[in-house]
Amino acid sequence: MSEKFEMSMMSELKFFLGLQIKQTKEGTFVSQTKYTKDLFKKFNMQECKGMLTPMPTSGHLDLTKDGEPVDQKVYRSMIGSLLYLCASRPDIMLSVFMCARYQAAPKECHLKAMKRIVRYLIHTPNFGIWYPKRSSFDLVGYSDSDYTGDKVDRKSTSGTCQFLGRSLVSWSSKKQNSVSLSTAKAEYIAAGSCCAQLLCMTQTLKDYEIYVKRVPFLCDNESAIKISHNPVQHSRTKHIEVRHHFIRDHVAKGDIDLKHVRTDKQLADIFTKPLDEKVF
């Protein structure tokens, strides 16, 4: 590139678009510490007391008519800043996305929830993602769902995450497009989303000549697992759209190995609902 463009090699890359990359003999640590501390100054919250979690367990927000409206520009600015921070802070992803749903007409309670997230960041400014060296390279996925968790439209929230060995490489927290009629359906839809991501990742790994078969896929809902293994379209699953049933094909082919995991070992739980301090 230097033959065609004027450029200089200054040193090894340590910052990239606000991301700080620190390499050691044990592995690589990716964080946004400087960006996080600048965010405190931007919103005049340097002196605020830190919090242990980004949202209380009773933190489900609503389209309340009570409370004074707040400045939309300030609220949206906080949303945008925190959304970018999610690139290295999956622990705040659910809380930020829940607050982002109320940008049209934010009230005091919504702004209070936003400030709670910032106060959690004040308590944990140096958190990031750790990628250890010499870790196994096994692909594994987790999926979970919070049944009818949204107070406004009663839609469920899907949470998924994927690991390569001990390294978190992909995660998602998304409100489902339709209202689920049962916990099993909500979990099954979340499982389908995770399955699609795992299949995409297996194709990407093939480009690096890494071939993965029977990817472990962990779900904490027995009913969703049984639906995935059941080849018969019986009456109880007619209400589930066909597009969610593709996971059955891949379970039958052996691409995905869907297993049960205890709820207290379900890592995707953090992307579906606010958790208490101990579980979080």
Domains of the chain, residue spans: 19-128, 136-271
Q: Averaged in consecutive runs of 10 residues, what is the pLDDT profile of the chain (280 residues)?
A: 81 80 91 93 92 88 79 93 94 93 90 94 95 88 90 88 94 89 87 92 92 91 84 56 71 88 92 91
- Please state, in angstroms and rounded to a whole number, the distance separating the CA atoms of residues 158 and 143: 7
Residue of 214, 207, 130, 126 lying closest to 165 (CA atoms): 130
- The predicted pLDDT at position 231 comes to 61
**CA atoms 201, 207, 208, 212: torsion sign:** positive
Placement of tokens 């400014």 in the chain? 125
Q: What is the pLDDT, as a whole number, of residue 238?
A: 56
Cβ atoms 161, 170 nearer than 8 A:
yes
Task: Give this prediction's pTM.
Answer: 0.85
As a whole number of angstroms, the distance between CA 202 and CA 208 comes to 10
Residue 212 CA to residue 215 CA, distance in Å, equals: 7
pLDDT given at position 226? 86
Architecture in CATH for domain 136-271: 2-Layer Sandwich (3.30)
pLDDT of residue 241: 60
In this structure, what are the phi and psi dihedrals at residue 159, rounded to the nearest 5 degrees? -130, 130
- Residue 62: Cβ within 10 Å count: 13
User: Taking the CA atoms of the chain, what radius of gyration do you get in angstroms?
Assistant: 21
Burial classification of residue 95, based on how many CB atoms lie within 10 Å of its CB (0-12 exposed, 13-18 middle, 19 or more buried)? buried
